[in-house]
Amino acid sequence: MTAHKSNDPLHGVTLEMQVNALVEKYGWAKLGKLININCFKNDPSVKSSLKFLRRTPWARTEVENLYLDSLDDDAAKKAANDRVALLTPVAKAFLTDRGLEASIDAQQCFGGHGYIREWGMEQIVRDTRIAQIYEGTNGIQALDLLGRKVVKNGGAFVSSYIAEMRDFANSMKAAHGIKQAILTAADKLDQSCDCGGSSE
């Protein structure tokens, strides 16, 4: 028999659990500023706070609302951390790879003089080349991106990013080229990662 799952985020979360979670997250000093009640500011303790909150409905409601807001805040932080983990190696590899290509193109403009130290281009090429190695080589980060941040978590990071791309494109009122380019890129990315397919 399947147990019924409540949609109430406070289901099974006692008032004591809420107070303990808020104290751990904010501390008594900040909690007393967020909810202006004496039991949070003057010699605060969980026991005295519970006694007051259980007989003061409006204060209990404020505690419950702050607790729910803290859950949303934690979820937002996790989503942001997931996005950073996904896009940092992409941004680092793209910019450093393009930087090396641009510096080599500039070096070619000098012909043979591009390799002479006096012009400075050979130093720029070396500097941009080392950028591909600093903070983890681009090749290793690419393997880590696919191995740990796409395959290992079942495409969770990238699928949420693809969904955001589609939502952004579909929110555009005009059916211009940028909108179609984003949707096409999202489809290709989805296919290459097989994020929309079966996990079996």
Single residue among 75, 95, 123 that ends a domain in this structure = 75
Per the CB < 8 A criterion, the answer to whether 44 and 52 are in contact is no
Q: Which residues are catalytic?
A: 135
Give the CATH number for residue 53.
1.10.720.30
What HEC string does the chain produce?
Answer: CCCCCCCCCCCCCCHHHHHHHHHHHHHHHHHHHHCCCHHHHCCCCHHHHHHHHHCCHHHHHHHHHHHHHHHHHHHHHHHHHHHHHHHHHHHHHHHHHHHHHHHHHHHHHCHHHHHCHHHCHHHHHHHHHHHCCCCCCHHHHHHHHHHHHHHCCCCHHHHHHHHHHHHHHHCCCCCCHHHHHHHHHHHHHHHHHCCCCCCC
Mean model confidence pLDDT for the chain: 84
Q: How confident is the model at residue 7 (pLDDT cuts 50, 70, 90)?
A: low
Q: What is the mean pLDDT of residues 122-143?
A: 88
What is the pLDDT, as a whole number, of residue 194? 66
Instruction: State how many domains the chain has.
Output: 2
> Domain range for residue 181?
154-193
Residue 6, pLDDT score: 53
Residue 96's pLDDT band (boundaries 50, 70, 90)? very high
Task: Look up the pTM and report it.
Answer: 0.54
Choose the final residue of a domain: 55, 75, 95.
75
